[in-house]
Amino acid sequence: MRGFRIARVPLQGDVMPHADLDLPTQGRIVAGEHRFALRVYFEDTDLSGIVYHANYLRYMERARSDMLRQAGIDQRAHQESGGGAYAVTALNIRYRAPAKLDDALLVVTRLTKVRAASVDIHQRVMRGGEILTEADVTAALVGAAGRAVRQPRDWIAAFAQVMGEGVTTSGDQRS
């Protein structure tokens, strides 16, 4: 075929010069907010090209998980050791404007309160400077028995350090 070039596929042992580009997307923490960029794909939309409402929750969940990773919290190891996992216990969401196919979005996450067993989180899904959707989320650390358990002390310290002084804590934060 004319006009097409076949890219050389690296063989085992070859080193690719931009291997770091092959890592999953991750957000970053700026001025006490976690910022997570994503793109709207066809699978995210309904037949009219508008993002299906439940997909905003998926975007926010990805951003929250990435925020924890950026804060140095290893959810998987904690869960596998029997320490529990976060579960959403309250959610208040407001849809303001629709996202559309191929939009570049930014999920902005800010912790607003840290308690012994839970965190309050405010999230905004934005397109440029426009807020499309925002939510207030409470996530509790739930143990294997299905009951809330105290968050590890080092997690609470990580939240305070990484997310800044805008985070308030209440209650006894023993580990």
pLDDT digits (tens, 9 = 90+) for 136-158: 999 999 998 999 999 999 999 99
Of 9-18, 116-125, 164-173, which one has max mean pLDDT?
116-125
Q: Based on the number of CB atoms within 10 Å of its own CB, is 90 exposed (0-12), middle (13-18) or buried (19 or more)?
A: exposed
Could you tell me the pTM of the whole model?
A: 0.82
Task: Give yes or no for residue 171 having a pLDDT over 60.
Answer: no
Lowest average pLDDT, out of 35-44, 99-108, 154-163, goes to 154-163
24-50 core/surface letters (b: 16 or more CB in 10 A; e: else)? eeebebeeebbbbebebeeebbeeeee
Give the pLDDT of residue 89: 97
Q: With beta carbons less than 8 A apart as the criterion, state whether 11 and 59 touch.
A: no
Widest Cα–Cα separation across the chain: 69
Q: For 17-54, write each residue's pLDDT tens digit.
A: 566 667 777 889 888 999 999 999 999 999 999 999 99
Residue length of the chain: 175
Angle at 32 between CA 84 and CA 102, to 5 degrees: 85
List active site positions. Answer: 46
CA nearest to 27, candidates 58, 57, 71:
71
Give the pLDDT of residue 174: 43
CA dihedral 108, 41, 49, 105 (to 10 degrees): 20
